[in-house]
Amino acid sequence: MKEYFLGVDTSNYTTSLSLVSEGEVIANVRRLLPVKDGEKGLRQSDAVFLHTKALPELSRELFDIAGMRDAKLCAVGVSSKPRDAEGSYMPCFLSGLSYASGIAHSHNIPMYSFSHQSGHICAGVYSSGKDFSFFEKLPFISFHVSGGTTEALHTTFNGETYLCQIVGGTNDASCGQIIDRAGVEMGLSFPCGKELDALSQNSTKKLPMCVSSVDGYFSMSGLQNKVQKFLADGEKHEDIAMFLFCSIAASLKKSSEHLRQVYGNCPILYAGGVMSNSIIRNELSKLENVYFASPALSCDNACGTALLAYKKHTKQ
């Protein structure tokens, strides 16, 4: 009988479920939570409601894909908080915890809790093109670049999850926040990353980049001010999108180069929704010994959480 491991993730903007068997992702379903036109995000109370509504529908879809007739569900992994840090909490993860707990108790199987950030890192490792062991032997630097977080992390694997120490990243807004704010200003639908990426491919004018980076940390507020100025000056949206992504890529590159000076030529892994952007990936790929989550697993997903549940359960 085939053994399955369920992953659950309810971030602020995406409901995700995944199934893993024998260390491989066999099914992955996700749904973006709807945001009203002109809005730049969701209230946590709205996110909790939308996750609760989406989970039963996605559950049917997931198990139909997997064909679970002759199968055994062994454990559930769930994202219970944003980061592995004291006080890290967001109400939206309560929806996933409630669902995962119900599945675990009804099947009399264990439930394992992980951070959303660890799930991103694990999904990145899984889809990086390298074996898990490559990132488990020695510490590495992982960048988690998303709508809620832009952090550079000194990362080690303790046999069950990823232990992270913040060593760089933004000291104000996250990269994803700046991208979405710019997109909404241009009249695009939230979240705006994909539409801005498509716009940038038609850019014909190179606007001067805006980069502020010191000792692995960088600021995004100046970038937002520049976007607003370019819009007021009548610059084309295509050129502003290109400026935005090139500036973010340059900031991440400077941070990466500084961390290489501090920690040596250790592997660097880039994950998080912003890392699905083609311009940013192309620029950072010029560095040596760098790896990326696949575009599909850069965005919020439950695959990493399911894989962590599989690894913890089989170890025990």
Closest by alpha carbon to 200, among 282, 145, 279, 295?
279
> What is the SS3 assignment for 34?
coil
Supply the mean pLDDT for the chain: 94
Q: Strands 162-170 and 150-157: what pairing?
A: antiparallel
Lowest mean pLDDT among 31-35, 40-44, 260-264: 40-44
> What is the SS3 assignment for 306?
helix
**Secondary element (H or E) of residue 81:** strand 71-81
Closest by alpha carbon to 308, among 121, 172, 105, 73?
121
pLDDT of residue 44: 93
Across residues 251-266, what is the average pLDDT?
96
> In which order are the strands placed within the sheet that holds 140-145?
213-214, 217-218, 162-170, 150-157, 140-145, 268-271, 290-292
Q: What is the DSSP letter of 162?
A: E
pLDDT interval class at 71 (50, 70, 90)? confident
Contact 267, 286 (CB under 8 A): no
Q: What is the DSSP letter of 274?
A: G
Q: Strands 71-81 and 2-10: what pairing?
A: parallel
pLDDT of residue 212: 85
Q: Strands 268-271 and 71-81: what pairing?
A: unpaired
* Cα separation, 26 vs 279, whole angstroms: 30
**Secondary element (H or E) of residue 140:** strand 140-145
Task: Go through 239-271 and write b for each residue having 16 or more CB atoms within 10 A of its CB, e for each that does not.
Answer: bbbbbbbbbbbbbbbbbbebbbeeeeeebbbbb
First to last CA, the chain: 20
Answer whether the bond into residue 191 is a cis peptide, omega within 30°: yes
Question: For residue 22, is pLDDT > 70?
Answer: yes
Tens digits of residue pLDDT in 261-282: 999 999 999 999 999 999 999 9
Please give the structure tokens belonging to residue 51.
Answer: 């996750």
Tens digits of residue pLDDT in 129-187: 999 999 998 899 999 999 888 999 999 999 999 999 999 999 999 999 999 999 999 99
Q: Is the pTM of this model over 0.75?
A: yes
* Cα separation, 93 vs 177, whole angstroms: 20
pLDDT interval class at 63 (50, 70, 90)? confident
Question: For residue 69, is pLDDT > 80?
Answer: no
pLDDT of residue 148: 83
Domains of the chain are 2-127+299-315 (3.30.420.40), 167-292 (3.30.420.40)
Token look-up 């607003």 returns 228
Contact 129, 256 (CB under 8 A): no
Closest by alpha carbon to 290, among 174, 147, 140?
140
* Cα separation, 303 vs 29, whole angstroms: 9
